[in-house]
Amino acid sequence: MPSTTIHFPEEILSKVDTAARRHGLSRNKYFLKACEDALAKEEGEWPDDFFTFKLDEKDILLLREASKEAENSIYTNRLNRGVPLL
C-alpha cells in the first residue's frame, strides 16, 4: 500500500491520538477512516435535471402570487421602515 507523510501541529496530533484510542483505532486507521468519510460526503452529485423546474402555468401563477405575498409581508413587517430598500 502506498504511503504519504503529513505534518501536523503537536496539539492536533495529540487530539487525534486521544480520539483514535477512544475508538480503538491506530492513528493510521483513524486518519484513513476520516479520509474515507470525507470522500464519501463528496460522492453525492445532483442529477442533471435536478434544478430544472417543470411547472405548468397554474403552478407558475401560484408561485408568483406566493412570492408577492411573502414580499409584501416582509416589507410590511420590517423593523427598519425608515431605511430605503436596496
Q: Which tens digits make up the pLDDT trace of 26-44?
A: 999 999 999 998 888 877 7
CA separation, residue 38 to residues 35, 63, 75 (Å): 5, 37, 42
Domain residue extents for the chain:
10-43
Could you give the percent of the chain with pLDDT greater than 90? 50
Phi and psi at residue 45, to the nearest 5°: -130, 150
Using an 8 Å Cβ cutoff, are 10 and 18 in contact?
A: no
pTM across the whole model: 0.48
pLDDT of residue 83: 65
